[in-house]
Structure 1
């Protein structure tokens, strides 16, 4: 596995692993297989592991501690302050106050079984708290040695500039895939490139549609949260699967899978994708994307295969205001 630089001196594996689905939102999972997948990731060099306090809540951080506690020095751990959670998991909505950021970081350290978090994100901006105050508290965590690098998630270009002026950001995480390219036109990716901040792409496989794992809605568990998303409604899903057929044709030319080509497209945009999986076989497939070579012409052909005006349904059903925090 190759490595790549994000920002603020942080180097990570070129493809990471999003651990969310091992503990939340996508139906029941097999903990033994999840642990085996996390450990196999390290063996493959997929050492950039992404979690958040909201995944469970707390259960995902604790799972990672159980799986990788003895291999802590081999991985780059990223987690997020997500919302105003009490210790029992009760949420009170977004909370970007300095007091909460400090409390959440200490709790994540305990749950992860570590004395330092490599990359600590603010999961979503709290509109009631100036970003300067939140990032100021995160900077204090860096000064205290509890956090090595900081980042934000799903934020506007303007917020990125304000935050970066307080303390250097190593990364910003937002959704980016062949199915979701908002950040390429709303100024977010452009300002990251300008400021030398890394981009981390979550849901890089369109929440599984750009893979062989979700070919039918029957592939989703009854309690899978994706069933409630606009793109997973029957008519939209069928339309989007027809678009994936175009990607399959391009992948066949490269002797690769749809997932590998979709991830290679992201690597070609200069970002670090963190595809989520709960299975070792899928993990190995995703890791193989670094060996897929795409020319500039290939990158454009893939983008052209999925025109924005042919993609059915919004990505998460939330109202979108161009250039605004989500």
Structure 2
């Protein structure tokens, strides 16, 4: 039988980030929204607005996505933001420049400057969820997380998240400041970070899986079989499995298509039977 947290026939539809900011558990990843040319940009704006109309109130972006233009697109589409909408962004990757490639940069002074740039581009006075995009192995983790904690004290950040971290890094960061979310790669067929999911579930930390449906949408197998049984799509089944996996799971599927957006959002209403959940859970267990 699956362990507790894997066998929930009913799960909450919302989660309180940081224990205080309620969001619907199925969010939206803005990475795939086109920012140019103008005609495609208008489509990106339309998708972002439609996500909010469908009830999505957790949107994830990053300065890395088109080097800030993704943040600017969201501001153009959605500002002034509805009171219930939380726009999360990420910092910690330096753009390419003359003679250098893009690279992870966790220096406190760089993180502070990126937060200020994010505030400006998103037209915010405070970022509700600011995530460290990657841990910079060249900089002590305490310095990186400590810089974000100082920005929270200054009122520029409400909650702090991490991305692509191990259980040990999560524990180390948690000794410095409260961590509200973790964003690692994870899906029904990609379970490398199973231990991180379990650690987040135990601590009540929101887990935002990126790439939450691939490769389930392109790999024939149990996901496809369950989709046929439920008259659903493989992507919907993959998202339904994530939502049932643990109440702290906050999938953020991304798309630049209105049709795919509606398909993804509808997955929140898809119910797996206990037998279907167990079959899916067993497909890629570590």
Same fold (TM over 0.5): yes
Contact 1:10 1:170 survives alignment (8 Å):
no
Contact 1:22 1:29 survives alignment (8 Å):
no
1:13/1:56 Cα in 2 relative to 1: closer, same or farther (>3 Å)?
Answer: same
For 2:152, the equivalent position in structure 1 comes to: 142
Q: Which residue of 28, 33, 49 corresponds with 1:22?
A: 33
Contact 2:92 2:110 survives alignment (8 Å):
no
1:170/1:250 Cα in 2 relative to 1: closer, same or farther (>3 Å)?
Answer: same
Q: Which residue of 194, 205, 209 corresponds with 1:201?
A: 209
Q: State the alpha-carbon separation in 2 of the partners of residues 198 and 269 from structure 1.
A: 13
Equivalent residue pairs, number: 271
Instruction: Using the TM superposition, give the Cα deviation of residue 129 of structure 1 relative to its aligned residue in structure 2, in angstroms.
Output: 1.2
Classify the secondary structure of the residue corresponding to 1:242: coil
CA RMSD, 1 decimal: 2.5
For 1:260, the equivalent position in structure 2 comes to: 236
Contact 2:227 2:233 survives alignment (8 Å):
yes
Classify the secondary structure of the residue corresponding to 2:66: coil
What are the within-5 Å matches in structure 2 for residues 178-189 of structure 1? 178-184=188-194, 187-189=195-197
1:302/1:108 Cα in 2 relative to 1: closer, same or farther (>3 Å)?
Answer: same
1:140/1:105 Cα in 2 relative to 1: closer, same or farther (>3 Å)?
Answer: same
Instruction: Using the TM superposition, give the Cα deviation of residue 295 of structure 1 relative to its aligned residue in structure 2, in angstroms.
Output: 3.2
Q: Which residue of 183, 186, 191 corresponds with 1:176?
A: 186
1:122 aligns with 2:132: yes
Classify the secondary structure of the residue corresponding to 2:67: coil
What are the within-5 Å matches in structure 2 for residues 149-164 of structure 1? 149-164=159-174
Instruction: Using the TM superposition, give the Cα deviation of residue 52 of structure 1 relative to its aligned residue in structure 2, in angstroms.
Output: 0.4
For 2:256, the equivalent position in structure 1 comes to: 278
What are the ranges of 5 or more consecutive residues in structure 1 without an aligned counterpart? Answer: 212-239, 310-326
Q: State the alpha-carbon separation in 1 of the partners of residues 131 and 81 from structure 2.
A: 22
1:5/1:29 Cα in 2 relative to 1: closer, same or farther (>3 Å)?
Answer: farther
1:45 aligns with 2:23: no
What are the ranges of 5 or more consecutive residues in structure 2 without an aligned counterpart? Answer: 1-11
Runs of 4+ in 1 over 3 A off after TM superposition: 85-88, 306-309
1:121-163: per-residue Cα shift (whole Å, max 9, x none)? 0000001111111111111111111111000000010110110
Q: State the alpha-carbon separation in 2 of the partners of residues 87 and 79 from structure 1.
A: 22
